[in-house]
Structure 1
Amino acid sequence: MAAAAAVPALCLAEAAAVTTVLAPRPTSLRTFSSRSCVASIRRSALKCHPSRPLTGGAGGGPPPPPAVFHGECFVVGDNIDTDQIIPAEHLTLVPSKPDEYRKLGSFAFVGLPTAAYPTPFVAPGEEKTHYAVVIGGANFGCGSSREHAPVALGAAGARAVVAEGYARIFFRNSVATGEVYPLELADTGAWKECKTGDVVTVELDNCVMINHTSGKQYKLKPIGDAGPVIEAGGIFAYARKTGMIASKSA
Structure 2
Amino acid sequence: MSKEEKEPIKGKAFVLGKNIDTDQIIPAAHLVYSLDDPEERKLYGKYALSGVPIEESGLPEGGIPLTQDEETKSEFKIIVSSDNFGCGSSREHAPASLEIAGIEAIISPSYARIFYRNSVDGGFLIPFESLKDLSTEIKTGDELEIDQENHELINHTQDKTYKIKPLGSVADIVHAGGIFAYARQNGMIEKA
Give the TM-score normalised by the residue count of structure 2: 0.92
Match of 2:55 in 1: 115
What is the alpha-carbon distance in structure 2 between the residues aligned to residue 237 and residue 98 of structure 1?
21
Match of 2:152 in 1: 208
Matching residue within 194, 198, 201 for 2:142? 198
- Report the CA distance between 1:154 and its aligned residue: 0.5
Q: Given the alignment of the two structures, is residue 220 of structure 1 paired with residue 171 of structure 2, yes or no?
A: no
Match of 2:44 in 1: 104
- Report the CA distance between 1:177 and its aligned residue: 0.8
State how 1:72-151 maps to structure 2 within 5 Å: 72-117=12-57, 118-151=63-96
Match of 1:61 in 2: none
Aligned length: 187
What is the alpha-carbon distance in structure 2 between the residues aligned to residue 234 and residue 51 of structure 1?
8
- Report the CA distance between 1:196 and its aligned residue: 0.5
Q: Deviations over 1:208-246 (max 9, x none)?
A: 101111112111111112111111111111111111111
Match of 1:234 in 2: 178
Name the SS for the 1:238 alignment partner.
helix
Percentage of matched positions with identical amino acids: 44
> Which AA in structure 2 matches 1:89?
A
> Which AA in structure 2 matches 1:51?
S
What is the alpha-carbon distance in structure 1 between the residues aligned to residue 37 and residue 123 of structure 2?
17
Alignment RMSD, CA only? Answer: 1.4
What is the alpha-carbon distance in structure 1 between the residues aligned to residue 182 and residue 34 of structure 2?
22
What is the alpha-carbon distance in structure 2 between the residues aligned to residue 101 and residue 199 of structure 1?
28
- Report the CA distance between 1:106 and its aligned residue: 1.3
What is the alpha-carbon distance in structure 1 between the residues aligned to residue 49 and residue 18 of structure 2?
14
State how 1:151-170 maps to structure 2 within 5 Å: 151-170=96-115
- Report the CA distance between 1:131 and its aligned residue: 0.7
- Report the CA distance between 1:157 and its aligned residue: 0.8
> Which AA in structure 2 matches 1:107?
Y
- Report the CA distance between 1:52 and its aligned residue: 4.5
- Report the CA distance between 1:96 and its aligned residue: 2.6
What is the alpha-carbon distance in structure 2 between the residues aligned to residue 125 and residue 236 of structure 1?
33
Consecutive unaligned residues in structure 1, runs of 5 or more: 1-49, 55-65
> Which AA in structure 2 matches 1:171?
Y
- Report the CA distance between 1:143 and its aligned residue: 0.6
Match of 1:9 in 2: none
Match of 2:2 in 1: 51
What is the alpha-carbon distance in structure 2 between the residues aligned to residue 189 and residue 162 of structure 1?
9
> Which AA in structure 2 matches 1:106?
K
> Which AA in structure 2 matches 1:112?
V
Q: Deviations over 1:25-53 (max 9, x none)?
A: xxxxxxxxxxxxxxxxxxxxxxxxx2256
What is the alpha-carbon distance in structure 1 between the residues aligned to residue 125 and residue 93 of structure 2?
12
